[in-house]
Amino acid sequence: MHNPYLPYPVRISDIITETEDRNLKTFEYVFINPEDEEKFDYQPGQFAELSIAGKGEIPIGIASSPVEKGFLKFTVNKVGLVSTHLHNMKVGDVMGVRGPLGNWYPWDKMEGKNVVIIGGGFAFTTLRSSIVYMLANREKFKEIHVIYGARTPGMLLYVDELKEWEKRDDIHMHITVDATDDPDWKYNTGFVPTITDQKAPPATTDTYAIVCGPPIMIKFTQPVLDKLKYKHDHIIMSLENRMKCGIGICGHCNIGRHLVCKDGPVFTLDQLNKMPKEY
């Protein structure tokens, strides 16, 4: 019997400190057993459990994209026991990855449609995965907008890639920071909801918005999307809850009858409206 709790052994192949506060690092992994990579067949929006022997597991969104081969990437915020330990690990260290887990952004539904990505802070990880995926399959999508904000320029994730995407004409990038005194800052200044109001395309039946960010950003972005007449079944969100097993068995992450780990983490706003606010 396959054991769904058993992580694939991986080796850390690269570590990048992403933000100026050094609390966010991106870890790149390679599978120790090459055949495991094939089994780890994932979609943008899914997550995995990062496993450290002796410390435990943490559920983290997959930041790499299925179109990138040979490695997995996760950007981890230093908050608890496992993530703090992980931040002290080095290239070459061995740990585990278990997954892919959960559902993903509705790529089948979004095919041939406009996609507006709205992200804030460190919740940009699976959105990066999605952007890389869409750009590699550019012909499958109509207009792509990305609104991404952080507190300061130094808190933006994946800065080099953001700059590359800025240069392209097949993706509308709207990078913003809450505030900055950097005279060379050439992008937007303002909170994500404000920039959304200014830059997001108006709603059509052919336009989906994927929204990921801190609760405060979500709270103020939602009325903007309502104002722009986005239908709630066209607004897609990704949730977090305390999780243990990641496969819908241990019972930790439920919201009503749904388990965030297995029935989510991706839900439409329409679905969330009918669920208890237990997240």
Angular region, 256: left φ>0, alpha ψ -120 to 50, beta rest = left
| Member of 106, 247, 268, 271 binding another protein (CB under 8 A) | 247
Calculate the alpha carbon distances from 216 to 21, 209, 232, 252 in Å: 20, 17, 18, 24
- 241 near another protein, judged by CB under 8 A: yes
User: In what helix (H) or strand (E) does residue 76 lie, and over which residues does it extend?
Assistant: strand 72-77
Q: Confirm or reject binding of residue 83 to another protein (CB under 8 A).
A: yes
Using CB under 8 A as the binding rule, whether residue 278 contacts another protein is answered as yes
| Six-digit token string for 265 | 């983490």
Closer to another protein by Cβ: residue 43 or 196: 43
Binding mask 148-177 for another protein (x = CB under 8 A): ------------------------------
Asked whether 213 and 157 are in contact (CB, 8 A), the reply is: no
* Exposure of 112 in the CB half-sphere (CA atoms within 13 A): 3
Q: Rounded to whole angstroms, how far apart are CA atoms 79 and 121?
A: 15
- Strand order across the beta sheet in which 72-77 lies: 56-61, 47-52, 94-101, 8-17, 24-31, 72-77
The single residue among 69, 90, 167, 274 that binds another protein, judged by CB under 8 A, is: 274
Among 81, 91, 179, 216, binds another protein (CB under 8 A): 81
What's the min distance (Å) between Cβ of 103 and another protein? 11
277 binds another protein (CB under 8 A): yes
Q: Kindly state whether residue 240 participates in binding another protein, applying the rule CB under 8 A.
A: yes
Among 28, 31, 46, 57, binds another protein (CB under 8 A): 57
Shortest Cβ 94–another protein spacing (Å): 4
Q: Quick check: 257 binds another protein (CB under 8 A)? A: yes
Taking alpha carbons only, the member of 91, 82, 112, 127 closest to residue 17 is 91
Could you tell me the two tokens for 275?
A: 């669920």
Residue 21 binds to another protein (criterion: CB under 8 A): no
DSSP, collapsed to helix, strand or coil, labels residue 186 as coil
Cα separation of 71 and 151, whole Å? Answer: 29
Q: Contacting another protein (CB under 8 A), which of 56, 106, 153, 190?
A: 56
Answer whether 119's CB lies under 8 Å from 148's CB.
yes
From candidates 97, 262, 267, 269, binder to another protein by CB under 8 A: 262
- For another protein, the closer of residues 174 and 262 by Cβ is 262
Name which of 183 and 215 has its Cβ closer to another protein. 215
Tell whether residue 36 is a contact of another protein (CB under 8 A): no
The least distance separating another protein from the CB of residue 260, rounded to whole angstroms, comes to 10
Residues 6+ apart with CB under 8 A from 39: 8
Q: Please, which residue, 70 or 80, has the CB nearer to another protein?
A: 80
- Nearest C-alpha neighbor of 146 from the set 174, 105, 176: 174
Interaction between residue 52 and another protein (CB under 8 A): yes
* Residue ranges in contact with another protein by CB under 8 A: 1-7, 9, 32, 51-58, 79-81, 83-84, 93-96, 240-242, 244-245, 247-252, 254-257, 262, 274-279
